[in-house]
Amino acid sequence: GIQVEQSPPDLILQEGANSTLRCNFSDSVNNLQWFHQNPWGQLINLFYIPSGTKQNGRLSATTVATERYSLLYISSSQTTDSGVYFCAVVRNSGAGSYQLTFGKGTKLSVIP
């Protein structure tokens, strides 16, 4: 199946700092999404971004499909940004080509 690698696995930021999270994937994709899992376990949709660039407030994301990576930018981080950020993809073809495959996540801790 498709491999999804996220980096870094852990990140500690001072409140107000900026950060970039990376997601590499091993095959072409139909779908790529970024999620934030809050402390209660709920997955919050951040971006649906199989290609291109999108922005939503302090967050933005870029996917370069031809080079098989996506980046999530967090600017002016706040303590409420803490949690685990997941990248997930749907493979373009072949086995499992309708399943959302998750990376292992980046655990972000924003300290005051």
Q: Please say which residue, 13 or 49, places its beta carbon nearer to other proteins.
A: 49
- Under the binding rule (CB under 8 A), the answer on residue 35 touching other proteins is yes
Out of 30, 51, 76, 109, name the contact with other proteins by CB under 8 A. 30
- Residues of span 53-112 touching other proteins by CB under 8 A: 86, 88, 90, 97-105
What six digits make up the tokens of 67? Answer: 């080079």
Residues 45 and 33 sit within 8 Å (Cβ to Cβ): yes
Q: Please say which residue, 7 or 75, places its beta carbon nearer to other proteins.
A: 7
